[in-house]
């Protein structure tokens, strides 16, 4: 045996002159290069041979590395020309700005502002743009506000002369769906669990940052993990503009309703959502899908986006993965068990399915299953194998 040093890695090399092979092993993995005798192998330059081994090992390792989820890029939204309402009187963007300067200033930074044109609907060829695209005709509202002269009663009455997104969730969401129904992902919102539970677009998104609804006096609930490992946060306005105008950052926004999921992420083993390395929308489509739990992809495909080594296809598939998906064995948000398993002892997890001693999928007799250690001690390729139907390698 010869120990070959390398600036990055060091590992032992085993030369077998009879088989004319060279084997290098590291971290429990061995790599053999046949057709090389001991005599000829020493002719190779040490660093060149070490570099060859390093490149071979790294190329293999990258194929089994877990990926960090890429940023979700929603499909485009086509702007729909809003025709003036019959008999509606429009004030135009220029008349809204003096009374609502903060809203107008923040609105001008959003993608919505790219569609706005100064002037009234009549001056723009009949198309409604600017604030009145969402809020409806504003001339009566503007006239009443100016005539109120500071009278609170008259000002309250004037506020009712324009759509202020204070209706029911269906009415509020319908305003956004005028344009956003053209988006492939957002067009399913009407049939999503959020819509069925009375959650409108404005509950999560803020067209104006001044309406983000943040409460400075309310203490944010942080996890211990975020104090050790976290991703630097953007300034609030930049975060708002770069995250689909969300009122709060993820996962804080989602925790407002999904407190049970927040508790799961506080368990010892969890996906890296509290640390900021992942977001809820990396796995879920909040606007609704035909998949269970509004997953972005069907079953195990969502998990295989990062866990590429589990994707397959394999010659011998584990039916639990294909039929029930990864959640048959794993708890996706958090668990007290290692590897997010649903059971503490792995063999008991397997026995939930492999329990009938007379069944074809239980080759062991009733009392001969391994009483110590885990099933994966022998069935190592439990997610699927290309060599053995018993997943032993």
- Would you state the pLDDT for residue 31? 42
The Cβ of residue 254 has, within 10 Å, a number of other Cβ atoms equal to 21
- pLDDT at residue 357 greater than cutoff 90: no
Rounded CA-CA distance 391/385 in Å is: 5
Q: What percent of the chain has pLDDT over 90?
A: 25
- pLDDT at residue 204 greater than cutoff 70: yes
b/e burial code for range 16-51 (CB count within 10 A of at least 16 → b): eeeebbbbbeeeeeeeebeebbeeebeeeeeeebbe
Q: Which of 33-37, 291-295, 328-332 has the lowest mean pLDDT?
A: 33-37
- Would you state the pLDDT for residue 228? 63
Q: Which of 50-59, 170-179, 241-250, 352-361 has the lowest mean pLDDT?
A: 50-59
Give the pLDDT mean for 311-320: 89
β-pairing verdict for 334-335 and 269-270: antiparallel
- Would you state the pLDDT for residue 260? 93
CA distances from 290 to 51, 71, 185, 208, 242 (A): 49, 22, 11, 31, 27
Tokens at 291, concatenated:
């998949």
Give the pLDDT mean for 26-30: 43
Tokens at 297, concatenated:
């992809």
Query: What ranges make up the beta strands (E) of the chain?
Result: 2-4, 11-16, 21-26, 29-34, 269-270, 316-317, 334-335, 384-385
Query: Is the pTM here over 0.75, yes or no?
Result: no
Give the pLDDT mean for 76-82: 75
pLDDT digit string, tens, across residues 88-126 = 688 888 889 888 998 889 988 998 888 765 555 545 455
- Would you state the pLDDT for residue 374? 81
CA 106 to chain centre: 27
- pLDDT at residue 351 greater than cutoff 80: yes
- Would you state the pLDDT for residue 275? 85
pLDDT digit string, tens, across residues 209-221 = 876 444 444 445 5
pLDDT interval class at 26 (50, 70, 90): very low
């Amino acid at each position: 045996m010869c120990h070959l040093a390398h600036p990055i890695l060091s590992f032992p090399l085993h030369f077998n002159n009879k088989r004319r092979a060279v084997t290098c092993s590291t971290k429990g993995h061995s790599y053999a290069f046949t057709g090389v005798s001991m005599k000829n192998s020493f002719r190779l330059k040490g660093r060149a041979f070490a570099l060859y081994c390093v490149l071979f090992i790294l190329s293999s390792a990258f194929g089994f590395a877990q990926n960090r989820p890429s940023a979700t890029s929603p499909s485009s939204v086509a702007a729909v020309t809003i025709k003036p309402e019959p008999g509606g009187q429009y004030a135009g963007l220029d008349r809204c700005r003096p009374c609502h300067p903060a809203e107008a200033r923040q609105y001008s930074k959003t993608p919505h502002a790219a569609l706005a044109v100064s002037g009234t609907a009549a001056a723009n060829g009949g198309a409604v743009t600017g604030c009145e695209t969402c809020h409806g005709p504003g001339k009566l509202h503007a006239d009443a506000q100016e005539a109120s002269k500071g009278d609170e009663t008259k000002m309250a009455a004037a506020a009712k002369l324009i759509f202020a997104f204070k209706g029911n969730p269906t009415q509020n969401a319908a305003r956004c769906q005028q344009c956003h129904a053209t988006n492939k992902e957002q067009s399913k919102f009407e049939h999503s669990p959020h819509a069925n539970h009375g959650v409108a677009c404005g509950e999560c998104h803020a067209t104006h940052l001044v309406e983000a609804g943040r409460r400075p006096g309310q203490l944010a609930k942080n996890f211990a993990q975020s104090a050790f490992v976290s991703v630097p946060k953007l300034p609030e306005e930049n975060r708002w503009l770069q995250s689909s105008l969300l009122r709060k950052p993820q996962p804080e926004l989602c925790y407002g309703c999904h407190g049970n999921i927040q508790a799961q992420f506080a368990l010892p083993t969890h996906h890296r959502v509290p640390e900021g390395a992942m977001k809820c929308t990396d796995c879920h489509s909040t606007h609704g899908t035909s998949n269970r739990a509004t997953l972005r992809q069907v079953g195990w495909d969502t998990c295989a986006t990062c866990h590429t080594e589990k994707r397959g296809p394999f010659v011998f598939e584990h039916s639990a993965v294909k039929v029930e998906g990864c959640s048959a064995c794993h708890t996706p948000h958090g668990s007290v068990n290692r590897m997010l398993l649903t059971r503490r002892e792995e063999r008991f997890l397997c026995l939930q399915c492999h329990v009938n001693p007379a069944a074809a999928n239980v080759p062991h007799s009733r009392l001969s299953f391994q009483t110590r250690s885990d099933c994966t001690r022998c069935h190592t390729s439990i997610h699927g194998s290309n060599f053995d139907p018993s997943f032993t390698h």
